[in-house]
Amino acid sequence: MKRALSSMFMASSLMFAGALPGLAHAQDVAKPDAKAGEQLYVNGDMSRGVLACMTCHGEGGNSTIPANPNLAAMPHEYLAKQLRDFAPQGDKPPVRTGADGAPSIMAAIAPSLTAQDIQNVSLYLSQQKLDWEHAGTATNESSMERGQHIWRAGIADRQVPACAACHSANGAGLPGEFPRLAGQHPEYILEQMKLFRSGDRANSIMYDITSRMTDPDLAAVADFAAGLR
């Protein structure tokens, strides 16, 4: 049932794939304020139960914890969409959950963020520089060739498209729609691909792609993508 619902969500979302994720919320907030975003990112707001983002995602969005993503220099629109997707939408549950539908860590934080908070923090992070020296990178030489093939050419007999088609040849992504994967922690990429495949993360077209990939496929691509520069 979960996968069926996920597929229905993906089919309907494709009609709006070209729209900016923040468009529906554009009238809810004033012009994004990077300084205010930095304040919330660094200090949080315990009066609302908002933990300092830096605690998990590192200084300037450069995470040192493999399970937590690097957010520095990610597109503003993409970050804002992901933050919204962690929170319930009216009477509907979040479209981003943990394994087996369990609440993600962000589920305790995102609902306390206002639309303005989300825009402010997203703008701040989009302006930060990724620390490439300490960013995620490939570590598994034995899967490198397989990861490279899938990234560049996909898996034709299973109708898996080349990852580079959306995330670009160098892993830089497409601002506003598809995230940068180069320099991301391979452990984080792999976990997200598994969540896409299970339907627990139902906010992307990735379900239809990962559902046709094996565990070795996912691991090889995740590791290769992290090492792109």
96 strand-pairing partners: 201
The whole-angstrom separation of Cα 177 and Cα 127 is: 17
Spatial separation of the C-alpha atoms in residues 11 and 67, rounded to whole Å: 29
User: Cβ of 50: how many Cβ atoms within 10 Å?
Assistant: 20
pLDDT in tens, the chain (229 residues): 444 434 433 333 332 333 333 433 444 689 999 999 999 999 999 999 999 999 999 999 999 999 999 999 999 999 999 999 999 999 999 999 999 999 999 999 999 999 999 999 999 999 999 999 999 999 999 999 999 999 999 999 999 999 999 999 999 999 888 999 999 999 999 999 999 999 999 999 999 999 999 999 999 999 999 999 9
Q: What is the DSSP string of 161-200?
A: PPTHHHH-TTS--BTTTB---TTS-HHHHHHHHHHHHHTS
CATH superfamily of 21-133: Cytochrome c-like domain (1.10.760.10)
Domains 21-133 and 135-226 agree in fold: yes
Quick one: angle between helices 115-126 and 76-85, nearest 10? 140
Model pTM? 0.87
Residue 138 CB contacts under 8 Å (≥ 6 apart), including other chains: 144, 147, 186, 223, 224, 226, 227
Domain layout of the chain by residue ranges: 21-133, 135-226
Longest Cα–Cα distance in the chain: 54
CA 220, 223, 226, 229 torsion-angle sign: negative
**CATH of the domain spanning 135-226:** 1.10.760.10
Nearest 5°: CA angle at 70, between 97 and 110? 40
Q: Are 121 and 110 in contact (CB under 8 A)?
A: no
CA distance 74 to 180: 7
**What span, in angstroms and rounded, lies between the C-alpha atoms of 119 and 111?**
14
Look up residue 18 and give its DSSP letter: T
Of 190, 47, 179, 32, nearest to 117 by C-alpha is 32
Share of the chain above pLDDT 90, in %: 85
DSSP state of 66: T
Cβ–Cβ under 8 Å, residues 180 and 172: yes
* pLDDT, tens only, 66-121: 999 999 999 999 999 999 999 999 999 999 999 999 999 999 999 999 999 999 99
